[in-house]
Amino acid sequence: MSFGHVPTVGVGELAEADFLLDVREDDEWQAGHAEGALHIPMSQFTARFGEVTEAAPQDGRINVICRSGGRSAQVVMYLAQQGLDAVNVDGGMEAWAAAGRPVVDDTGAAGHVL
C-alpha cells in the first residue's frame, strides 16, 4: 500500500519528551502503549481533531504511531493538509517495542503490542 511521500521518523530518533499521538483502536491501546502518548483512535480522529490541536505543542512536531505504520501514515497526511507539522513513526508500536521502549497497559503495568 502506497501513501505517497509521508515524512517519517525512526523510533530511535524520538526523545522521551516528544509528543506522541497513538491512533490505534481502544483494544490495542489497552493492551499496550507508549506512556504519555495521546490516544485518539483513527476511527474517531476527525471528530476529535480539536483534542489534537489542544494537546500538541504549538510549534512542535506531532509524532503519529499505530501498530505498524499504515493508519498513522494516513493520519499524518490529514494533519499535513491541516497545516500541522506531523511525521509517521516508522514501524509503529512494533518497532517501538522491538527497540526496547517501554510499553504499558491501562493500569501502568507492562503491556504488549496487539
Helical ranges in 32-91 per DSSP H: 49-55, 70-81
What is the rounded CA–CA span in Å between residue 90 and residue 107? Answer: 26
Cα 72 to Cα 24: distance, rounded to the nearest angstrom: 8
66 catalytic per annotation: yes
How deeply is 31 buried, as exposed, middle or buried, from its count of CB atoms within 10 A (0-12, 13-18, 19+)? middle
Given the residues 21, 34, 66, 93, the one annotated as active site = 66
Catalytic residues: 66
